[in-house]
Amino acid sequence: MDLTKKAPVLTNKEYFVRKLTKGILSGEWNPGDRLPSERELAAEMGIGKTVVHSGFEQLAAMGLVEIKPKSGVFVADYMKTGNIETLNAIVHLNGNELSREVTVAILDLRLAIEGMAFRALCLCRSAEDLVHLRAMTAAIRDCAHRSGEKELAERFFLWHRQICILSGRSILTLFMNTTHDVSIAFWVNYLRIYETSFAIDRLERFIERIEARDGEGACNLLATGITDYLARLKE
């Protein structure tokens, strides 16, 4: 049996979007530059104009280009006008490695979102909520030794997202969902720095504070964990 993992085959649109994303983020084209026309890019890449047109629309949704009718397609000043999709593109281009600047920004956002969620949950939590969180924690502990790093990272993300869900603040869950890709990149790196058992024990400590309705204690645990993590990152 051939167990060699084959790279996924890209569609023409995926190839186009990936190629232009790399060109923009690597500095081949700078903010304000006019990109080649649909006809030129289609001929250069051997793909249809409709594919290029659709690809430009996706790049615009990613915050990387601005489409100006009758003028052309221009590289956007994406660090000022971009969105979470722009950040995801930057992370993927870097092999899912987060720069320190991006890491600090994501953790600041996480502290704000989860801080509100922990405080709200500690006020309204039920016995069923505690049972659910303990079951999720036990499942993570049970599968930790046989899970790949991305699968384990996904489980930690889902645990923390559950805090937002149980808090009853749906807008916090929506914000958390938008950070999925960069959060997975964060958790992969986190679990490379800390022992998995340590990370799971921290989940238990969060549950203890939720059970005690100690919202400030949960927030302090979150904040001190973030501070320690940043101190361990290489400059």
Tokens of 134: 């303990």
Confidence of residue 101 (pLDDT cuts 50, 70, 90): confident
Count how many Cα atoms sit within 13 Å of the Cα of residue 67 in the half-sphere of its side chain: 14
Domain with CATH 1.20.120.530 in the chain: 98-232
Tokens of 193: 């720095």
Domain with CATH 1.10.10.10 in the chain: 12-86
pLDDT over 70 at 9, yes or no: yes
Q: Which of 157, 169, 22 is nearest to 94 (CA)?
A: 22
Q: Are 47 and 12 in contact (CB under 8 A)?
A: yes
Distance CA(96)–CA(25), nearest Å, equals: 14
Domain 12-86 = CATH 1.10.10.10: yes
Q: Are 100 and 177 in contact (CB under 8 A)?
A: no
Residue found under tokens 């009853």: 168
Contacts for 53 with CB less than 8 Å, ≥ 6 apart: 38
Tokens of 57: 């629309």
The alpha carbon of residue 225 and the mean position of all alpha carbons in its chain are separated, in whole angstroms, by 19
Distance CA(193)–CA(187), nearest Å, equals: 10
**Model's pTM, two decimal places?**
0.77
Q: What is the CA radius of gyration of the chain?
A: 21
Of 40-44, 85-89, 208-212, which range is least confident?
Answer: 85-89
Confidence of residue 181 (pLDDT cuts 50, 70, 90): confident
CB atoms within 10 A of CB 40: 11
User: Which sign does the torsion angle of CA 116, 120, 123, 128 carry?
Assistant: negative
Fold that domain 98-232 belongs to in CATH:
Four Helix Bundle (Hemerythrin (Met), subunit A) (1.20.120)
Q: Are 125 and 210 in contact (CB under 8 A)?
A: yes
Instruction: Render pLDDT for 46-93 as a digit per residue (tens, 0 to 9).
Output: 999 999 999 999 999 999 999 999 899 999 999 888 888 888 888 777
Q: Assign residue 64 a region (left: φ > 0; alpha: ψ between -120 and 50; beta: otherwise).
A: alpha
